[in-house]
Amino acid sequence: MTSHDAHAAWLQRLRRDWRPMPDKPAETPENTLLALHWTAAGAPCSAVAAATRGDAPPKLDDAGLQRLSELVERRAGGVPLAHLTGRERFLGLELLAGPQALIPRVETELLAQAAIALAQESGARLAVDVCTGCGNLALALAHAIDGLQVHGADLSADSVELARRNAAMLGLAARARFHEGDLLAPFDADGFAGRVDLLVCNPPYISSGKVEAMAAEISAHEPRLAFDGGPLGVSILTRLIHEAPRYLRAGGWLAFEVGAGQGSAMARRLRNHGAWAEVRELEDGHGLVRAVLARRGTQTETME
C-alpha cells in the first residue's frame, strides 16, 4: 500500500468509526489526521495549528508511517487527540496538553475574552485563576495584557506542573506563576487579601451522578477532579461566591464559567449575596448562559 493509499484508508477509518466531540469543533477527521501526521513526523501540533499552518506535512518513512498508523488507531479508539499530540489551541495560544489536566475547550474562550476585557477596562494589575488546570485562562490573560501579574492555583500537583511548563514555553513564567492548593487557600499569604483586581475560574461543574454518563473520551481519559462538581455540580461555584470577596478589592471582578442551566441560579445567588454590586450573565452562540461576572461592591454600595 502506498503512502497515499494509507492516508485515504486512515481518513476513511476516522470518518466511519469516530465522531468529533461537540466541544472540539476544530477536530474534523481531516484536521485530526493532519495533526497526527505532524506528530508522527516529530512536530506535534493541535488540530487548529495543523489546519492553519499553511505547509504540507513532511513525507514519512516506514517507521513514521507505522507511528501514524498507531496514532490513528488510538484516536479511533477514543483517546483524545490532545493526549496523542500533547497540544491544544486556546484563544490563539498553542499549549501543552495531556492527561494531567482538563483539555481546554473552545467554550471557555467566552470566559477568557470577557476576563481580558474586564482586566483592560479596569486597569487590572493582579489577577488570580483558580482551578487553573493547564493554565490556559491564566496564560491567556498574561499574554493579552502587558504588565498584568497572574497567579494560578490547582489542587492537582500534576496540573500545576503542566501549567508551569506552558508558562515557560510561552515565555510568560515571570508574570504567570502557579501554586498547588485547594481553591483560594494558596492566596491566604500576605499580599492577596483585598488586593486582587480580577479572579477567574473554570471550575468542575458536572454533577457527580452524571459523570459516568459522560462520553468515554472524557470520563475515561481526563481527570475526574477537573469536572466532578459534587452532588449538584455547584460545590466549587458555591464556595467561590462566598470566599472570593475576601481577596477582591472593592470594584474588583469575579468571572467564572458555568454549566448549561446553571447560570441564572448562580447569578441569583450573587445578587442575593451582600458583597456583589453588579452581576452580568454571558450567553454563548446558542443563547445559553455559560459565564457569570460579578463586581465586588464598594463600602457605600454594600451598605445601601
- Domains of the chain (ranges; CATH) run 3-85 (1.10.8), 106-303 (3.40.50.150)
Give 107's DSSP letter.
G
Name the DSSP class of 244: G
Cβ-based neighbour number of residue 92 at 10 Å: 10
Residue type, 285: G
- The predicted structure's pLDDT at residue 18: 73
pLDDT of residue 41: 95
**For residues 230 and 185, what is the distance between their CA atoms, to the nearest angstrom?**
19
**Integer Cα distance of 13 and 7 in angstroms:** 10
Q: What is the pTM of this model?
A: 0.93
Helix, strand, or coil here: 301? helix
Q: Which three cell numbers stand for residue 272?
A: 442575593
Looking at residue 81, what is its pLDDT? 96
- How far is residue 72's CA from residue 197's CA, in Å, rounded to a whole number? 45
Alpha helix segments (H runs only) across the chain: 3-17, 29-40, 47-52, 62-76, 81-85, 109-122, 136-144, 157-169, 208-211, 216-219, 235-243, 263-272, 299-303
| Beta-carbon contacts of residue 294 (< 8 Å; ≥ 6 apart) | 241, 253, 254, 255, 270, 276, 278, 279, 280
Residue 40's pLDDT is what?
96
202 in Cβ contact with 257 (< 8 Å) = yes
Contacts of 155 (CB under 8 A, 6+ apart): 131, 180, 181, 182, 183, 225
How far is Cα 256 from Cα 268, in angstroms, rounded to an integer? Answer: 14
- State the pLDDT at residue 179: 97
Cell of 75: 484516536
Blockwise average pLDDT, block size 10, the chain, 304 residues:
73 79 86 95 96 89 93 92 97 97 95 97 96 97 97 97 98 98 91 95 82 74 75 84 95 95 92 92 94 86 54
Question: What is the predicted pLDDT for the residue at 2?
Answer: 64
DSSP symbol at 234 = -
CB contact at 8 A, 129 and 153: yes
Instruction: Supply the pLDDT for residue 304.
Output: 52
* Dihedral pair phi/psi, residue 222, rounded to 5°: -100, 150
